[in-house]
Amino acid sequence: MIEHLPALIPISLILFAFIAGILGMMKYRLSRYLAILGAVAAFGLSVTSTIHVLQTGTMSYHFGNWPPPYGIEFVMDTLTCFMVLVITGIGSILLMFPTKPGFMIDEQKSATLYTLVLLFMAGLCGMVMAGDLFNLYVFLEISSLTTFALVSIGGGKASVASFRYLIMASIGGCFYLLGVGFIYFSVGSINMADVFQLLPAVYDSPSVIGGAFLIITGLCLKMALFPFHTWLPDSDTYAPPVVAAFSAAVQIEVPAYVITRLLLNVFSQDFMVTLTPITDIIAWISAAGIIIASILAIAQNNFRRMLAYSSVAQVAYIGLGIGLANPLGIVGGIFHIMAHSLMKGSLFLIAGGLHHHNGIWNIQGFQGLGRRMPWTIGALTIAALGMIGIPPTAGFFSKWYLLLGSIDSGKWVFVAVMLISSLLNAVYFFRIIEKAFTPLNNQAASSDNPRELPGKMLAPILILATGILVAGALNVVIINNLIMPVAEGL
Amino acid sequence: MGDIAFHYSYIMIIILLVIGLYGMLGKRNLIKKIIGLNIFQTAIFLFFIEGGLKDGGTVPVIDPALGTEAAIYFNPLPHVMILTAIVVSVATTGVAMALLLTIYRNYTSLEEDIILERMGK
Amino acid sequence: MIERYDSIIVDITCRIMVPFIQLFGMYVIFHGHYSPGGGFQGGVLLASSMILHRLSLGYKESYLKLPPARASVLGTGGMFLFILTALTPIFFGGVFLDYGFLPIPGLEPAELRYYGILIAEIWIGIAVFGCLVVIFDRLTERRLD
Amino acid sequence: MKAIATIIIAAFAAVMIYATSGLSVPGDPESPAAGNVSEFYIENSMEDMHTPNIVTSVLADYRGFDTLGETLVIFTASLACVLILTRRVDRD
């Protein structure tokens, strides 16, 4: 059974999606538990396959037993394992958040919802593991279709945001498809490994360059890299908190991973770095995005809109890591995927919990919360410190590797950009922390004394906050075993 | 690497793509955006089908009288990809229509400017 | 929700056309090995017949023919059975989607794949039929307030 | 807004014209896409699964996983419609 593991991860999620949907129709409470069970089962399978990959090397699964260029394959190397672990792990923690505050929907109607969440995770896992350019497109569309529905749960404004996202995501998907078409008509294959072999012969062909440009543009649209970020703030502000957490924590990172994968395993370094300035363009627009999005985040008063702009800035860090195109930069970028999903996941859950529990939307509402909700604000502080990049957290280590990568490539501008952006991060996160620890000056407000969040909401937040510290402590283990072996191939 | 004159069919497809993109980005009515999206996607299908053609070929259904020589039949892979892409396009349109219904129920308009005004921005 | 359109011409024409469209849909599904066609195209034809039925005869009669709940059962069931069919070879020594390992006795792998494709196409047809009717029903549902 | 859209569209058209200039002439039987994988499908479809329609054999067997994903896409779309059009109390 062990050789079927790569296929079983998405398939188990899909099967649990069906079971959660069908049984949820009969007894609505079941669907939530089944969804958590499915996500945890997928996480277990990911852990098993990670152990197997670490012991025996890259796994490859040929669907229908057709050899790769002819059939579809799933490739599972250590980097894929890392991404699958992040997706299923973060997903199962986020699903533990209760339905009503998390998804803003009645529990009676939640069966469809949990089916879609599991399908969303299955789509992301498929995207990560696909070893075939077109198969990736199919999973990309599954994950975006589910997101449109999930974002729109938030009500009228969320529907408009979701529609905007639909237009942008469809343009992104279409660009990707067109790019795949150009690559296919230039080399005659859509298997990633096969394209990697065949591509050097036609590197100077305009259709390969144009196709690569279209593919990268499409993926940048999906990952909300700076000039294409316009859909993200609205959808993250109006979507239900858990959906916003999913979107910020895993959904926009997976296209970034795909770009890394394309850089490493499809278009080689020669093409992306030397022949065409694609990585340079990514690096520069990311650098611009980091600064501009951070400044925009400072200007926001709504807590969740601020987090959304912060997501744009953080995704640009990942883009910067890819754009540096050296092993340390890639390590920093990929490790930042994990750090960011832990931090942004917990921050969005806190935002959702505070809104549901206290009705707080704006940063002014945080005043005096530090005393009354020590655990929540503690988790918020840890996540905020991670965002700024203070040492024991995971956020520090990813930025550290990004800095090393920038120094390695001799681009001091990026070093300056990262230092300035850390300062900007500090400005907008310390503002909140300061507000939270400022005691209320009038006694009238203390009558409707908000107490600590209920345990059901607090548990996933605290798990994620602990995860930030644990990932920071284990950074060397994770990077040496999972990320470095692949990134060194550059 | 042929002359641009031989690529006139691609030029037609590019015109369609541009019309679709303009519909999505330039138009203010949400239904027109969806129409633009559909034009864009259809142009992509045409692009793939165009690339799968072979002069003197026939549809990729094997005729025992003709044998299994690769040059006789069109390239089947673009057709397969396009079947998938068509389904994706239909699915996206369906979801978009559902979203438009909710938007219309909330704001009783499908003009982007009026919706933004009613959203209070 | 669509009310019945009171016209004898529309009524009779659609009543006559619907079974033929359905027949053609089934032909397209089952003849997909020899001519252009397959599960998707056939499923779309079946769904379009049902949509024509709904458009012409109104929801009251059309829901008697295929209730929305049954359409969603068809969609889910077709999809679920397709995945189960794809999973079956794993338990008989093959890999996922390898129809050559389907447990049908007395057939060589090529024949098994032939029938495997047919089974898959049937499930796809049913799933597409159900899902498209569900989408149509949802879009034309009457607002309750 | 219109100006930005015009610039984007012009850039896109330029990229597309540049990229298509590298493709082989439509209908060229020697083009890269005509060989390689597609040749294998045409030559082996009959032997491998006794199916004359190559599109069906590629769709359902050689690249069957795409088809599974594709069915999942339309299933997802129907569920998405159900969820989007579920009546719920608007929160704003």
Contact call for residues A17 and A38 (beta carbons, < 8 A): yes
What's the mean pLDDT in B3-20? Answer: 83
Closest CA to C72 of B102, A151, A25, D60: A25
pLDDT > 90 in chain B, percent: 49
User: Residue A436 is inside which H or E element, if any?
Assistant: helix A412-437
Q: What is the pLDDT of residues A431-455, one digit of tens each?
A: 888 888 887 766 545 545 567 788 8
Show the tokens assigned to A169.
């995501």
Contact call for residues C133 and C66 (beta carbons, < 8 A): yes
- Helix orientation angle between A133-152 and D64-84, rounded to the nearest 10 degrees: 10
- Residue A83's pLDDT is 93
| pLDDT top residue among A1 and C116 | C116
Strand locations in A335-437, DSSP E? none
- Residue B105's pLDDT is 87
Q: What pTM was computed for the model?
A: 0.95
Asked if the structure places residue C108 within a domain, the reply is yes
pLDDT band of B4, cuts 50, 70, 90: low
Contact call for residues A303 and A277 (beta carbons, < 8 A): no
In angstroms, what CA-CA distances link A387 with A338, A366, A391, A395, A465? 12, 19, 11, 6, 12
Chain B contact for D35 (CB, 8 A cutoff): yes
Task: Tell me the sheet residues that pair with A362.
Answer: A302
- Buried/exposed A399-437: b ≥16 CB within 10 Å, e otherwise: bbbbbbbbeebebeebbebbeebbebbbebbeebbebbe
Distance CA A363, CA A121 (A): 32
Q: How far is C51 from chain B (nearest CA, A)?
A: 14
pLDDT band of A217, cuts 50, 70, 90: very high
User: Residue A76 is inside which H or E element, if any?
Assistant: strand A73-76
Contacts of D92 (CB under 8 A, 6+ apart): A155, A156, A157
Strand locations in B26-95, DSSP E? none
Q: Inter-chain contact B61–C36, Cβ cutoff 8 Å?
A: yes
Q: Name the DSSP class of D25.
A: P
Task: Tell me the sheet residues that pair with A302.
Answer: A362
Q: Name the DSSP class of B58.
A: B
Contact call for residues A170 and B89 (beta carbons, < 8 A): no
Tell me the three-class secondary structure of chain C, residue by residue: CCCCCCCHHHHHHHHHHHHHHHHHHHHHHHCCCCCCCCHHHHHHHHHHHHHHHHHHHHHHHHHHHCCHHHHHHHHHHHHHHHHHHHHHHHHHCCCCCCHHHCCCCCCCHHHHHHHHHHHHHHHHHHHHHHHHHHHHHHHCCCCCC
Contact call for residues A90 and A345 (beta carbons, < 8 A): yes
Distance CA C53, CA C18 (A): 7
Mutation for B interface: A70, A139, A153, A166, most B CBs within 10 A: A166
- Evaluate if residue A281 carries a pLDDT over 80: yes
- Helix orientation angle between A78-95 and A455-473, rounded to the nearest 10 degrees: 160
Cα radius of gyration (chain D): 22
Distance CA A135, CA A156 (A): 34
Q: How many CB atoms lie within 10 A of CB B47?
A: 25
Asked if the structure places residue C145 within a domain, the reply is no
Contacts of B1 in chain A (CB under 8 A): 205
Distance CA A234, CA A240 (A): 12
Phi, psi of C61 (to 5 degrees): -80, -40
Distance CA A250, CA D32 (A): 37
- Residue A99's pLDDT is 86
- Evaluate if residue C145 carries a pLDDT over 50: no
Closest CA to A225 of A172, A189, A181, A162: A172
Show the tokens assigned to D76.
């997802």
User: Residue A456 is inside which H or E element, if any?
Assistant: helix A455-473
Residue of C nearest to A64 (CA): C98
**Out of D27, D41, D69, closest to residue B53 by CB:** D27
Q: What is the pLDDT of residues A391-425, one digit of tens each?
A: 888 889 999 999 999 998 888 899 999 999 999 99
Asked if the structure places residue C144 within a domain, the reply is no
Distance CA D72, CA B108 (A): 33
Q: What is the pLDDT of residues A90-138, one digit of tens each?
A: 999 999 998 888 888 877 778 899 999 999 999 999 999 999 999 999 9
Average pLDDT for chain D = 86
pLDDT > 90 in chain A, percent: 51
Residues in chain A: 490
What's the mean pLDDT in A28-56? Answer: 92
**Out of C87, C95, C100, closest to residue A62 by CB:** C95
Q: Which of residues 326-385 of A touch D (CB under 8 A)?
A: none
Q: How far is D28 from chain B (nearest CA, A)?
A: 6
Q: What is the pLDDT of residues A65-75, one digit of tens each?
A: 888 888 899 99
- Residue A434's pLDDT is 86
User: Residue D75's Cα: distance from chain center in Å?
Assistant: 17
User: Residue D32's Cα: distance from chain center in Å?
Assistant: 18
User: Residue A486 is inside which H or E element, if any?
Assistant: helix A484-487
User: Residue A349 is inside which H or E element, if any?
Assistant: helix A327-358
Chain B contact for D89 (CB, 8 A cutoff): no
pLDDT band of A156, cuts 50, 70, 90: confident
In angstroms, what CA-CA distances link A349 with A139, A161, A264, A314, A331? 26, 20, 34, 18, 27
Contacts of C95 in chain A (CB under 8 A): 3-4, 7, 61-65
Mutation for B interface: A116, A151, A159, most B CBs within 10 A: A159
User: Residue A74 is inside which H or E element, if any?
Assistant: strand A73-76
Q: What is the pLDDT of residues C26-78, one digit of tens each?
A: 999 999 888 888 889 999 999 999 999 998 888 888 889 899 899 999 999 99
- Residue A463's pLDDT is 93
Contacts of A168 in chain B (CB under 8 A): none
Chain B contact for A159 (CB, 8 A cutoff): yes
Q: Inter-chain contact B1–D78, Cβ cutoff 8 Å?
A: no
Q: Name the DSSP class of A66.
A: -
- Evaluate if residue A481 carries a pLDDT over 70: yes
- Evaluate if residue C144 carries a pLDDT over 70: no
**Out of D16, D41, D78, closest to residue B14 by CB:** D16
What's the mean pLDDT in A308-320? Answer: 92
Longest distance between any two alpha carbons in chain B, whole Å = 69
- Evaluate if residue C5 carries a pLDDT over 80: no
Asked if the structure places residue C58 within a domain, the reply is yes
Q: Which residue has the tokens 């009354």?
A: A372
Asked if the structure places residue C50 within a domain, the reply is yes
Q: How far is D72 from chain A (nearest CA, A)?
A: 7
> Collapsing DSSP states into helix, strand and coil, what is residue A105?
coil
Question: Identity (one letter) of the amino acid at A345?
Answer: G
Domain count, chain C: 1
B partners (3+ CB pairs within 8 A) are A, C, D
- Residue D91's pLDDT is 44
- Evaluate if residue A359 carries a pLDDT over 90: no
Chain A contact for C68 (CB, 8 A cutoff): no
- Residue B121's pLDDT is 60
pLDDT band of D90, cuts 50, 70, 90: very low
- Buried/exposed A150-189: b ≥16 CB within 10 Å, e otherwise: bbbbbbbbbbbbbbbbbbbbbbbbbbbbbbbbbbbbbbbb
Q: How far is B11 from chain A (nearest CA, A)?
A: 14
Contact call for residues A150 and A101 (beta carbons, < 8 A): no
Residue of D nearest to A115 (CA): D79
Asked if the structure places residue C3 within a domain, the reply is no
Contacts of A135 in chain D (CB under 8 A): 65-66, 69
**Out of A15, A21, A64, closest to residue C98 by CB:** A64
- Residue A443's pLDDT is 53
Residue of D nearest to A214 (CA): D15
Q: What is the pLDDT of residues A453-473, one digit of tens each?
A: 888 888 999 999 999 999 989
In angstroms, what CA-CA distances link A63 with A70, A74, A198, D67? 10, 8, 22, 12
Please state the ipTM of this predicted complex: 0.94
- Residue A114's pLDDT is 92
Show the tokens assigned to B24.
């999505």
pLDDT band of D48, cuts 50, 70, 90: confident
- Helix orientation angle between A133-152 and A110-129, rounded to the nearest 10 degrees: 150
Chain A contact for B30 (CB, 8 A cutoff): yes
In sequence order, what DSSP letters do the residues of D26-46 get, joined into one string?
TB-TTSGGGSHHHHHHHHHHH
Cα radius of gyration (chain B): 20
Q: Inter-chain contact B102–D16, Cβ cutoff 8 Å?
A: no
What's the mean pLDDT in A218-232? Answer: 89
Contact call for residues A376 and A369 (beta carbons, < 8 A): yes
Distance CA C72, CA B99 (A): 20
Q: Would you call A92 exposed, middle or buried from its count of C-beta atoms within 10 A (0-12, 13-18, 19+)?
A: buried
Domain that holds residue C17: 8-139
Q: What is the pLDDT of residues A414-423, one digit of tens each?
A: 999 999 999 9
Average pLDDT for chain C = 89
Show the tokens assigned to A426.
């500090």
Closest CA to A138 of B36, C95, C127, D64: D64
D partners (3+ CB pairs within 8 A) are A, B, C
- Helix orientation angle between C68-87 and C109-139, rounded to the nearest 10 degrees: 150
Distance CA A181, CA A207 (A): 10
Q: Inter-chain contact D81–C134, Cβ cutoff 8 Å?
A: yes
Task: Tell me the sheet residues that pair with A73.
Answer: A62
* CA-based end-to-end distance of chain B: 51
